[in-house]
């Protein structure tokens, strides 16, 4: 029988997610993240258990998160069962870092998306919410073909800079032109890439997102172009890469400036000739993908210092999209805050109506180094903690200016005592202080306290154990 996550969440209590992985710690982590997002979780430790649980709750399940490597069943066969028995439920597969060709295969077999181990909590949240959004759409009331894609990934903003981006997206989505999206972290680059795909004729074909900075050079090449059996140790079969997996659809090359110069040459060739040569092969295969690339680096500077090829830049930058940092469009903060309040309170089953004027003022006064993502996270945290109808006040993290004023190279004074100090001990004290405060503010609830401190449940638990903050009762 499927264990219920933490033993305290029952199916029927909210929108249900089936988590299936044979690693208990991973199930626990996923369950916590999902519960924080307002879902209920049923989990299974084996393929057989997953299938039984799936059949039992298939009417309620809105998403399946499935490890592909199972001790008892073939992951691909299980995926096929899900997609034939309940085709509307999106499946997100979990794959190990080194075997991501499984991910390609899984996307082929109908998985909606994949998460690679080891993963970041933020990445899980994004994938999950996207996938459930997809499920809602497929079940939602009948929408006209024109309006449905408009709703998928809302790019919110009235500021002229973001309006221009939206216009551009609408104009170029239907072309096959390569797009280069530039902008700081959290400004919405991936959102724009998805919007381009969803508004194109390729919308029913795969959208494959590859984070180029997450791989070593050799691995990235075999991921992108595929490899032949025996091309390197451990390559036991011919395997397609992401280019082939995205055939007919869109390939999103995220963090494109982090590719090595050698890989850049190879990408250039694919773009120019529309052919892919798998690692270890001499035979090129034709491929039809629309390429959207993104970077949060200043790519002009990368070209100047020789780490990015100018010819590739021109190939990618056919349509340039510049996403403004949030601090340059602070007029949009109330609109975005309202949007995130609605989004999160709906998801958590709360009935928040808004945010106070003084809280908005505080949000406007902040510089937003993490841009829209940071605003999204902060609002989410406040929605979770809010007891009333309105967010009355907001707590922001202390902000250290990103770039110190020109010429101020001298370190800022923290007041090191003349006799010296034990920094480690001091930092532990500071950490303990914040942990205590957060735990007492949330009545000892570790999940909420972790949210308040902007950390995952897991690192909260780790820190509490490490520092033994035990004088407040902890509710898990």
Ligand X SMILES: Nc1ncnc2c1ncn2[C@@H]1O[C@H](COP(=O)(O)OP(=O)(O)OP(=O)(O)O)[C@@H](O)[C@H]1O
Q: String of b and e for 117-127 (b: at least 16 CB within 10 Å)?
A: bebebeebbbb
Under the binding rule (CB under 6 A), the answer on residue 296 touching ligand X is yes
The Cα–Cα gap between 371 and 351 comes to 26
Q: Which is nearer to ligand X, 68 or 131 (CB)?
A: 131
Q: Which residues pair with 93 in a beta bridge?
A: 66, 114
Chosen residue from 5, 187, 222, 380 binding ligand X by CB under 6 A = 187
The Cα–Cα gap between 177 and 172 comes to 7
Interface residues for ligand X in 364-403 (CB under 6 A)? 372-373, 376
The Cα–Cα gap between 289 and 225 comes to 13
The Cα–Cα gap between 332 and 336 comes to 6
Q: Which is nearer to ligand X, 75 or 188 (CB)?
A: 188
DSSP state of 173: T
Chosen residue from 105, 190, 240, 258 binding ligand X by CB under 6 A = 190
Interface residues for ligand X in 307-346 (CB under 6 A)? none
Interface residues for ligand X in 213-252 (CB under 6 A)? none
Under the binding rule (CB under 6 A), the answer on residue 257 touching ligand X is no
Phi-psi category of residue 112: left, alpha or beta, with phi > 0 → left and psi -120 to 50 → alpha: alpha
Q: How many CA atoms are closer than 13 Å to the CA of 226, on its beta-carbon side?
A: 26
Under the binding rule (CB under 6 A), the answer on residue 21 touching ligand X is no
Q: Minimum Å distance from CB 103 to ligand X?
A: 18
Chosen residue from 14, 47, 90, 183 binding ligand X by CB under 6 A = 183
Chosen residue from 86, 155, 231, 303 binding ligand X by CB under 6 A = 155
Q: Minimum Å distance from CB 401 to ligand X?
A: 19
Q: Minimum Å distance from CB 133 to ligand X?
A: 10
Tokens of 73: 């069943």
Helix axes of 333-348 and 371-385: crossing angle, nearest 10 degrees? 50
Q: How many CA atoms are closer than 13 Å to the CA of 476, on its beta-carbon side?
A: 12
Under the binding rule (CB under 6 A), the answer on residue 189 touching ligand X is yes
Burial class, 216, CB count within 10 angstroms (exposed 0-12 / middle 13-18 / buried 19+): exposed
Q: Minimum Å distance from CB 475 to Mg ion?
A: 34
* Distance spanning both ends of the chain, measured CA to CA: 23
Residue closest to ligand X (Cβ): 188
54-62, 112-120, 180-188, 234-242 -> range binding ligand X (CB under 6 A): 180-188
Burial class, 57, CB count within 10 angstroms (exposed 0-12 / middle 13-18 / buried 19+): middle
Chosen residue from 36, 190, 247, 332 binding Mg ion by CB under 5 A = 190
Report what 372 binds from ligand X, Mg ion, none; CB cut-off 5-8 Å by kind.
ligand X
Q: Minimum Å distance from CB 19 to ligand X?
A: 21
Chosen residue from 47, 157, 206, 325 binding ligand X by CB under 6 A = 157
Q: Which residues bind to Mg ion, rule: CB under 5 A?
A: 190
Q: Which residues bind to ligand X, rule: CB under 6 A?
A: 126, 154-157, 162, 183, 185-191, 296, 372-373, 376
């Amino acid at each position: 029988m499927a264990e219920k996550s933490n033993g305290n969440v029952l199916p029927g209590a909210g929108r249900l997610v089936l988590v299936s992985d044979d690693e208990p710690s991973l199930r626990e982590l996923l369950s916590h993240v999902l519960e924080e997002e307002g879902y209920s979780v049923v989990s299974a430790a084996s393929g057989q258990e997953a299938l039984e649980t799936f059949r039992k709750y298939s009417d309620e399940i809105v998403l399946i998160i499935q490890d592909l490597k199972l001790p008892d069943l073939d992951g691909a066969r299980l995926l096929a069962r899900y997609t034939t028995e309940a085709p509307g439920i999106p499946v997100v597969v979990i794959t190990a870092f080194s075997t991501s060709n499984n991910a390609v295969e899984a996307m082929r077999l109908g998985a909606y998306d994949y998460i690679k181990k080891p993963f970041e909590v933020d990445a899980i949240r994004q994938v999950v919410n996207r996938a459930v959004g997809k499920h809602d759409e497929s079940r939602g009331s009948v929408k006209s073909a024109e309006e449905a894609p408009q709703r998928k990934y809302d790019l919110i903003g009235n500021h002229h800079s973001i309006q221009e981006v939206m216009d551009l997206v609408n104009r170029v989505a239907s072309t096959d032109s390569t797009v280069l999206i530039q902008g700081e972290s959290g400004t919405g680059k991936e959102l724009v890439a998805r919007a381009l795909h969803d508004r194109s004729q390729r919308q029913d074909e795969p959208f494959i997102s590859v984070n180029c900075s997450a791989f070593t050079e050799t691995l990235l090449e075999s991921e992108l172009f595929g490899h032949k059996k025996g091309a390197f140790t451990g390559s036991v079969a011919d395997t397609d890469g992401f280019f082939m997996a995205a055939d007919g659809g869109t390939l999103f090359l995220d963090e494109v400036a982090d590719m090595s110069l050698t890989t850049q040459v190879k990408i250039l060739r694919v773009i120019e000739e529309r052919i892919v040569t798998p690692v270890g092969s001499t035979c090129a295969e034709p491929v039809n993908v629309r390429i959207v690339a993104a970077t949060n680096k200043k790519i002009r500077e990368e070209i100047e210092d020789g780490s990015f090829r100018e010819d590739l830049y021109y190939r990618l930058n056919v349509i340039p999209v510049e996403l403004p940092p949030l601090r340059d469009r602070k007029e949009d903060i109330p609109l975005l805050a309202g949007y995130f309040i609605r989004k999160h309170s709906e998801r958590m089953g709360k009935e928040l109506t808004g945010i106070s004027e003084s809280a908005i003022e505080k949000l406007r006064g902040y510089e937003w180094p993490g841009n829209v993502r940071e605003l999204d996270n902060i609002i989410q945290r406040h929605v979770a903690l809010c007891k009333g109808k309105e967010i009355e006040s907001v707590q922001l993290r202390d902000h250290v200016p990103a770039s110190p004023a020109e010429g101020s190279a001298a370190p800022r004074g923290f007041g090191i005592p003349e006799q010296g100090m034990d920094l480690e001990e001091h930092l532990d004290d500071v950490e303990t202080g914040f942990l205590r405060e957060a735990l007492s503010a949330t009545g000892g609830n570790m999940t909420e306290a972790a949210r308040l401190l902007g950390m995952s449940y897991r690192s909260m638990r780790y820190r509490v154990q490490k520092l033994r903050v035990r004088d407040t009762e902890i509710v898990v």
